[in-house]
Amino acid sequence: MARTRKRDLTVEEQLARGPLDLPFLMLVVMLTVIGVIMVFSASYPTAINEGKSATNYFVRQAGFGAAGLAVMYFISKINYQRFRWMSVGVLAVSILLLVAVLIPGIHTERDDGVRRWIAVPGIGTFQPSEIAKVGVIMYFSARLSKRGSEKPPRISRRSRWKGPYYLLKHAGFFELVPYGAILLVIVLLMRLEPHMSGTILILAGAAAVLFAAGIHMGWFVAGGGLLLILLLGMMAGYQSTRILVWRDPWDYYATGESYQIIQSLYTIGSGGLLGVGLGKGRQKFLFLPEPENDFIFPVICEELGLVGACVILFLFALLVLRGYWIAIHARDRFGALLTVGVTTLLAVQVVLNVAVVTNLLPTTGISLPFFSYGGTALMIQLAEMGMVLSVSRQIPAAKQG
């Protein structure tokens, strides 16, 4: 099929062929490359210990990285306006997957009974919650970008619910009902897995989109308060040990409960200012659990030192700032909200991961974007970046003069 000539395109189609945001792209590529290298350094002792080739994890991660970058480029080529209608499908699929993962036979069997992963032959495993994150952000952005046209439900003037109705209407309650319902379903489904860290991230992404869209601040205060109460309630159970361990890990070293976080602190502390050198870390030799995964950042700290760790954090910060910059300059409200959601999700994930490994927060399983080993997660991550790049293509060129 012959390529359509430019003058035959609609304005939107012309804009979708605009240039990618180069700084954002460069940052993503850099972080992906560094991440893959760090996976190699962090994973080879584990690989050897598991009787695999030392490069086993590295090769896989590099493959997914390359594929992910290709996917990202492909997605960036899509006119993001199409994401508006796609979002419904993505959300629906992710909810279906969240249900499916609970069904025996579909989720992977684990000793601890946690049902988070679905195995895909040839690729490995993936978490439906990763897709749910994207789905929620896409759907919320799409719907919220058309906020103004939504009509609240009507009610008879004589109804005795008239009072509360106007109160709720005034507070914007009816507008929030669908979002709340979706989140409630997802939270409940993920509670069954269980998957707290994933829940937190989905809520964070959703909240960011809602927040940017201009939802009344009161709802966030209320939602935050509710979450806090829920969290405190949950802490009464097994989570409470987690809190105690967090507050004084040295006390629990002997019992083994704080082994992971103490090892993480050892690893980070060993690095000093300049680190022991790339590949020369010692803690990954079966001292630090999951050095190639959630705890890859300590390995970076050990091998590259404070300087290296700060450089990585700086790159993340730049990527996040550039993401918001794209959001601000986005052509329309949907692009802006979509970018805010993806960017905030990324920022929260980075900050939570680093905060956990440095024991600023109690341990919870949050991976580090671009770094943690996991092919599907990396690909989904890069796909999200592709969506941001797609938005960046349609940024109107600065006006002359």
Partner 1 sequence: MKSDKKRQTGRGAANLVILKRTLFLMAVCGVLLFIPLVVRLYQLQIVQHQELESRAIDQQTWDKEVIADRGTIYDANGNVLAMSAEAYYIQLSPHEIEQRQEEYRKQVEEANQAETPEEREALMPKYDEPTNESIAQNLAEMLDLDAESILTRLGRTDSWSEVIKTQVESDQADLVRAYAKENGLSAGIYVLPSSKRYYPYGSLAAQIIGWVNYNDGNRGAYGLEALYDEELSGQTGRIVTAKDGTGKQLLYRYEDYEDAVDGMDLHLTLDATIQSYCERVLSEGIEKFEAQDGGFVLAMDPNTGAILGWANSPSYDLNEPRTISDPNLSAQLQEILSDTTLTDEEKSAQQTNLLYQQWSNKALNQTYEPGSTFKTVVLAAALEEGVVSENDTFTCTGSVMVDGYPQPIRCSDRDGHGTQNLARAVANSCNPAFIAIGQRLGTSTFYDYLEDFGFLSQTGVDLQGEPSAPNYNLIWPRDSFTHVDLAVASFGQRLQVTPLQLITAAAAVINGGHLMQPYVVESITDADGNVVQHTEPTEVRQVISEKTSERCRTILEQVVIPPGTGQQAYVAGYRIGGKTGSSETLEDDHTIVSFLGFAPANDPKVIVLIAYDNPKPTGPNSNYTSGMYYISGGNMAAPQAAELIPDILDYMGVAKQYTDEEKANMDVAVPNVIGMTLEAATTKLTDSGLEVRTVGEGATVTDQTPLTGVAIPGGSEVILYLGEEKPTDRVTVPNVQGMNRDQAEAALANVGLYLKSTGLTVGSDVRAESQAIAAGTEVERGTVVEVHFIQSTASGGAGSGL
Among 125, 317, 362, 365, binds partner 1 (CB under 8 A): 317
**Smallest distance from the beta carbon of 264 to partner 1, in angstroms?**
9
**Smallest distance from the beta carbon of 273 to partner 1, in angstroms?**
6
Cα atoms found within 13 Å of the Cα of residue 11, Cβ hemisphere only: 3
What is the distance of C-alpha 359 from the center of its chain?
20
Alpha helix ranges (H) inside 214-370: 217-235, 239-247, 259-271, 296-329, 333-357
Contact range with partner 1 by CB under 8 A, out of 31-39, 53-61, 323-331, 382-390: 323-331
Is 397 an interacting residue with respect to partner 1 (CB under 8 A)? Answer: no
Is 287 an interacting residue with respect to partner 1 (CB under 8 A)? Answer: yes
Closer to partner 1 by CB, 71 or 318: give it: 318
Is 311 an interacting residue with respect to partner 1 (CB under 8 A)? Answer: no
Among 283, 367, 390, 392, binds partner 1 (CB under 8 A): 283
State the Cα–Cα distance between residues 7 and 293, nearest whole angstrom.
49
What is the distance of C-alpha 55 from the center of its chain?
27
For 108, the token pair is 């992977």
Among 131, 320, 377, 383, binds partner 1 (CB under 8 A): 320
State the Cα–Cα distance between residues 64 and 43, nearest whole angstrom.
16
Is 173 an interacting residue with respect to partner 1 (CB under 8 A)? Answer: no
For 163, the token pair is 């009072």
- The two counts, helices (H) then strands (E), for the chain are 14, 2
What is the distance of C-alpha 260 from the center of its chain?
23
- String of contacts with partner 1 for each residue 178-217, x by CB under 8 A: ------------------------------x--xxxx---
Whether the upstream peptide bond of residue 152 has omega within 30° of 0, thus cis, is: no
Cβ partners under 8 Å of residue 125, min gap 6: 108, 117, 118, 119, 376
Closer to partner 1 by CB, 194 or 289: give it: 289
Per-position DSSP letters for 200-228, written without gaps between them:
HHHHHHHHHHHHHHT--HHHHHHHHHHHH
The secondary structure of residue 107, as a DSSP letter, is: B
Closer to partner 1 by CB, 184 or 222: give it: 222
Burial per residue of 44-74, b for 16 or more beta-carbon CB atoms within 10 angstroms, e otherwise? bbbbeeeeeeeebbbebbbebbeebbebbee
Among 61, 76, 258, 267, binds partner 1 (CB under 8 A): 267
Is 221 an interacting residue with respect to partner 1 (CB under 8 A)? Answer: no
Measured between its terminal Cα atoms, the distance across the chain in Å is: 40
Of 388, 262, 237, nearest in space to 325 by CA: 388
Contact range with partner 1 by CB under 8 A, out of 19-27, 126-134, 161-169, 326-334: 326-334
Closer to partner 1 by CB, 49 or 108: give it: 49
**Smallest distance from the beta carbon of 263 to partner 1, in angstroms?**
8
Is 385 an interacting residue with respect to partner 1 (CB under 8 A)? Answer: no
Contact range with partner 1 by CB under 8 A, out of 154-162, 187-195, 241-249, 339-347: 339-347
Instruction: Write phi, then psi, for 368 (nearest 5 degrees).
Output: -95, 120
Q: Amino acid letter at 225?
A: G
Is 136 an interacting residue with respect to partner 1 (CB under 8 A)? Answer: no
For 62, the token pair is 């590099």
**Footprint of partner 1 on 236-265 (CB under 8 A):** 265
Closer to partner 1 by CB, 134 or 208: give it: 208
| Residue tagged 């929030």 (tokens) | 176
Is 296 an interacting residue with respect to partner 1 (CB under 8 A)? Answer: no
**Footprint of partner 1 on 139-158 (CB under 8 A):** 147-148
Contact range with partner 1 by CB under 8 A, out of 63-71, 77-85, 332-340, 389-397: 332-340
Residues that bind partner 1 (CB under 8 A): 11, 45, 49, 147-148, 208, 211-214, 265-273, 282-283, 285-288, 301, 305-306, 309-310, 313, 316-317, 320-321, 324-325, 327-328, 332-333, 336-337, 340, 343-344, 347-348, 351, 354-355, 358, 360
